[in-house]
């Protein structure tokens, strides 16, 4: 049930050829150490699913994990990631891990099959770009939501640093519990929201473009995929409605305390435009234009009716 990491095993040899010795374990010393200790994790260790969220300077960012499987028909759901962070002091100068000792395993493949797991390294350069180094700062285990089934299992990650400090040159394991649930069944607090949009000025704001579609749009920037809260909403505005005193939208179950983006979107053959909104709805509503000039923020912490218009 092993999924191999794509390691950066060549980096220690490149550093050695350049004569760089930034810390213990670099250069030829790390090569001999790796040759002496490089053996695969035993079958017993691969089947040891004892929970352990921290080991040898690595720590999982939470435990247990709760993920929804993909919504039916959703070909591109957001990634479900288990993030394992490395302590920057103990993992300093580590640029490679033993490929034979590194892998991810699922205790119950009926819940998370082997093919659904993908392991990747996180390097300092992934965060800081060309100014960053090739030091390992963590690992990411991605789970393909389209391939999983509801249930509970454990995911095991094993590795062994190949260079860096001698204090971390040992077998390392992280094992976490993962719950997979059906789409829409992650229960979070919601607020029932009604929106009254005053379209005054909308037709004039779009008078200089040729548009085919105008929509009222709302999107949760803190979306919990598979929850019971409304994450995305689009409502078409017909040309005749632009002269109405108000366009009513009712019964939106928004996630309490989440920051939503709200905007009017117009699109034609050659033109597109985003318009921010402004509004109010009492003490439980925060709403106003974002600095980008394209959309607005909306946060609701209780049931509310929001009156809004173009910003």
Q: Listing from the earlier edge strand, what are the strands of the sheet with 304-310?
A: 247-255, 190-198, 304-310, 277-280
SS (H, E, C) 264-302: EEEECCCCEEEECEEEECCCCEEEEECCCCCCEEEEECC
Q: Which two tokens stand for residue 236?
A: 């078409």
Task: Place domain 11-181 in its CATH homologous superfamily.
Answer: Immunoglobulins (2.60.40.10)
What are the boundaries of each domain within the chain? 11-181, 190-310
Contacts of 131 (CB under 8 A, 6+ apart): none
Q: How far is CA 105 from CA 50, 70, 296, in A?
A: 12, 21, 43
Q: What is the pLDDT of residue 40?
A: 46
DSSP state of 244: S
Report pLDDT for 47.
77
* pLDDT score at 31: 33
d(CA 263, CA 275): 6
pLDDT of residue 232: 96
Any idea what DSSP says for residue 213? Answer: E
Other beta carbons within 10 angstroms of residue 306's beta carbon come to 22
What does the pLDDT read at residue 42? 52
**Within this chain, domains 11-181 and 190-310 share the same CATH topology:** yes
First to last CA, the chain: 55
pLDDT at res. 43: 54
Closest CA to 227 of 176, 181, 285: 181
Here the tokens at position 113 are 């099959």
**Tokens representing 204?**
């004039």
**pLDDT the model gives residue 39:** 40
**Whose CA is closest to 273, among 220, 198, 212?**
212
CATH number of 190-310: 2.60.40
Per-residue pLDDT tens digits of the chain, which is 311 residues long: 555 444 443 333 333 333 333 333 333 333 333 333 334 455 546 679 999 999 999 999 987 999 999 999 999 999 999 999 999 999 999 999 999 999 999 999 999 999 999 999 999 999 999 999 999 999 999 999 999 999 999 999 999 999 999 999 999 999 999 999 999 999 999 999 999 999 999 999 999 999 999 999 999 999 999 999 999 999 999 999 999 999 999 999 999 999 999 999 999 888 999 999 999 999 999 999 999 999 999 999 999 999 999 99
| 227-263: burial string, b at 16+ Cβ within 10 Å, e else | bebbbebeeebeeeebeeeebebeebebbbebebbbb
Helix residue ranges per DSSP H, the chain: 11-18, 28-37, 43-46, 124-128, 202-205
> For residue 218, what pLDDT is reported?
98
């Amino acid at each position: 049930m092993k999924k191999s990491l794509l390691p950066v095993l060549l980096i220690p040899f490149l550093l050695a050829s350049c004569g760089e010795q930034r810390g213990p374990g670099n250069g030829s010393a790390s090569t001999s150490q790796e040759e002496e200790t490089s053996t695969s994790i035993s079958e017993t260790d691969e089947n040891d699913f004892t929970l352990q969220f921290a080991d040898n300077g690595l720590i999982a960012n939470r435990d247990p994990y709760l993920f929804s499987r993909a919504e039916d028909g959703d070909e591109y759901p957001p990634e479900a990631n288990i993030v394992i962070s490395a302590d920057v002091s103990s993992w300093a100068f580590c640029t490679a891990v033993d490929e034979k000792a590194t892998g991810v395993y699922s205790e119950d493949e009926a819940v998370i099959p082997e093919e659904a797991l993908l392991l990747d390294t996180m390097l300092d350069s992934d965060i800081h770009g060309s100014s960053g180094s090739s030091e390992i700062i963590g690992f990411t285990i991605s789970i393909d939501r389209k391939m999983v089934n509801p249930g509970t299992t454990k995911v095991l990650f094993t590795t062994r640093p190949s260079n860096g400090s001698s204090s971390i040159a040992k077998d390392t394991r992280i094992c976490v519990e993962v719950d997979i649930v059906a789409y829409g069944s992650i229960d979070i607090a919601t607020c029932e929201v009604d929106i009254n949009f005053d379209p005054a000025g909308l037709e004039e704001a779009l008078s200089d473009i040729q548009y085919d579609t105008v929509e009222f749009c709302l999107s949760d920037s803190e979306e919990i995929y598979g929850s019971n809260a409304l994450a995305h909403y689009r409502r078409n505005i017909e040309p005749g409605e632009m002269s109405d005193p108000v366009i009513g939208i009712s019964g939106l179950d928004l996630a309490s305390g989440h920051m939503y983006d709200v905007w009017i979107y117009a699109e034609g053959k050659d033109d597109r435009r985003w318009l921010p909104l402004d509004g109010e709805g009492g003490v439980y509503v925060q709403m106003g234009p974002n600095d980008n000039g394209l959309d607005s923020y909306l946060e609701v912490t209780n049931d509310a009716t929001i009156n809004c218009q173009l910003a």
